């Protein structure tokens, strides 16, 4: 008799978003992950749009995974607004989208996270690929929750590299620094998949032609990704013909942690700095290494790309 494999139960928190859309495809097709639900937050676009895009991608994937709407703004600040330059006016690179077949559930994302974590104590991996507002809210309501979460795999931060919104800050942290700081201080086990590694995970223009055209999501993702690649090309003199796969890499690390090499350091988030707001401060002082967050610093690029292609349906 074949032994059944234990799947890793995950909740994916998104602000869909072009790279979030690829992350949804990856997660839905992973044979190692059990996708319990998808929670949405403001970020690349407003909450209504990120939720609609999430439902749209799940429809295209033929997945009936429940979707829970969360925060429409940062914990304490004004929202800085959407990011049409990178994600288009509709959050998916202005690709033509089909109407969605269903609505989000009525329960709030933070409440869904709390209920699921409590009911499967010590088992759930939270993969966050957006502002950390939903998780911070759940932890604020119930600080004991941190001890019940198996791990947070977070796309966010820039440990020893440049930021992408400011010189030192990455978008998911910069977009709600207080929320990110709550998560880092909570004691929850964290794997930080930041720009140090996500800028090495590259989707090339020619890869888009390798996507099986029969897949219902192929056209949307091809058009959206072309938009994303162009935005990177226009803004970054060093980038030609590719865009980073930030969010799919975080899902990939939840799926297979051996894809990245990590070192453990205390991490805090700057919330007061005039020029450093949203910076992830990684404490490398003598004696600090070994406690805190596991920070991804190296990536097995070829192995990641090969699994990515298989999961998303590229030949
Ligand atoms: O910095 C990259 C991150 O910001 C990604 O999660 C992207 O989707 C945006 O939210
Ligand atoms: Ca995102």
Q: Is the distance from the beta carbon of residue 172 to the nearest atom of ligand 1 less than 6 Å?
A: yes
Q: What is the mean pLDDT of residues 150-172?
A: 98
Least confident of 135-149, 165-179, 257-271, 281-295: 281-295
Q: In the annotation, is 15 catalytic?
A: yes
pLDDT value for 160: 98
The position carrying tokens 């998303």 is 312
**CA distance linking residue 190 with residue 169, whole number of Å:** 18
Average pLDDT over residues 210-229: 97
Name the pLDDT band for 287 (thresholds 50, 70, 90): confident
User: What percent of the chain shows pLDDT beyond 70?
Assistant: 99
Decide: residue 205, CB within 10 A, 0-12 exposed, 13-18 middle, 19+ buried.
middle
* Predicted pLDDT at 24: 98
Give the number of other CB atoms < 10 A from CB of residue 132.
Answer: 31
What fold characterizes domain 8-312?
Inosine-uridine Nucleoside N-ribohydrolase; Chain A (3.90.245)
Ligand 1 atom with least separation from CA of 164 = 1
- pLDDT for 5 equals 79
Nearest of 280, 289, 88, 29 to residue 169 by alpha carbon: 280
CA 5 / ligand 1 centre spacing (Å) = 32
- Give bridge partners of residue 293 from the DSSP assignment: 265
Ligand 1 pocket check for 244: Cβ under 6 Å: no
Cβ-Cβ contacts under 8 Å for 161 (sequence gap 6 or more): 194, 195, 196, 199
Longest dimension (CA), the chain: 62
The predicted model gives 164-191 an average pLDDT of: 98
Mean pLDDT of 47-75: 98
- Name the residue of 14, 15, 161 to mutate for ligand 1: max ligand atoms within 8 A of Cβ: 15
pLDDT above 70 (res 14): yes
Structure tokens at 291: 């406690």
Q: What is the pLDDT of residue 68?
A: 99
Is the pLDDT score of 2 beyond 80? no
Whether ligand 1 lies within 6 angstroms of the CB of 13 is answered as no
Considering the entire predicted model, what is its pTM?
A: 0.97
| Residue 108 among the catalytic residues | no
Residue 97 beta carbon below 6 angstroms from any ligand 1 atom: no
pLDDT of 4 > 90? The answer is no
Give the pLDDT score at 3: 67
Angle between helices 18-29 and 47-61 (to 10 degrees): 40
Phi, psi dihedral angles at 289 (to 5 degrees): -60, 145
Query: Among the options 246, 247, 255, 277, which is catalytic?
Result: 246
Looking at per-residue pLDDT, the higher value among 244 and 3 belongs to 244
Mean pLDDT (the chain, rounded) = 97
CB distance 247 to ligand 1 below 6 Å: yes
A 10 A CB-CB count for 240 gives 11
Q: Coil, strand or helix: which one is 286?
A: coil
**pLDDT at 1 > cutoff 70:** no
The pLDDT assigned to 288 comes to: 85
């Amino acid at each position: 008799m074949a032994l059944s494999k234990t799947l890793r139960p995950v909740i994916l928190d998104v602000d869909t978003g072009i790279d979030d859309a690829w992350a949804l495809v990856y997660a839905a097709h992973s044979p190692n992950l059990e996708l319990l639900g998808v929670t949405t937050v403001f970020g690349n676009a407003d909450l209504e749009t990120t939720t609609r895009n999430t439902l749209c991608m799940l429809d295209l994937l033929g997945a009936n995974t429940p979707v829970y709407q969360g925060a429409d703004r940062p914990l304490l600040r004004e929202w800085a607004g959407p990011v049409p330059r990178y994600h288009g006016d509709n959050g998916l690179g202005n690709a033509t989208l089909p109407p969605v077949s269903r609505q989000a559930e009525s329960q709030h994302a933070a409440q869904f996270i709390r209920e699921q974590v409590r009911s499967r104590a010590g088992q759930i991996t939270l993969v966050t690929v957006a502002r950390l507002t939903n998780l911070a809210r759940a932890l604020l309501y119930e600080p004991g929750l941190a001890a019940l979460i198996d791990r947070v795999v977070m796309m966010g931060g820039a440990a020893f590299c440049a930021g992408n919104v400011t010189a030192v800050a990455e978008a998911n942290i910069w977009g709600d620094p207080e929320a990110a700081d709550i998560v880092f201080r909570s004691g929850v086990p964290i794997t930080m998949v930041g720009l140090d590694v996500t800028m090495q995970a590259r989707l090339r223009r020619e890869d888009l032609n390798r996507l099986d055209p029969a897949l219902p999501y192929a056209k949307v993702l091809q058009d959206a990704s072309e938009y994303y690649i162009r935005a990177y090309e226009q803004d970054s003199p060093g980038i030609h013909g590719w865009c980073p796969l930030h969010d799919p890499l975080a899902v990939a690390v939840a799926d297979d942690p051996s894809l990245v090499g990590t070192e453990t350091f205390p991490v805090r988030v700057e919330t007061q700095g005039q020029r450093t707001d949203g910076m992830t401060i990684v404490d490398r002082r003598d004696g600090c290494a070994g406690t805190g967050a596991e920070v991804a610093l190296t990536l097995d690029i070829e192995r990641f790309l090969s699994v990515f292609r298989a999961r998303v349906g590229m030949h």
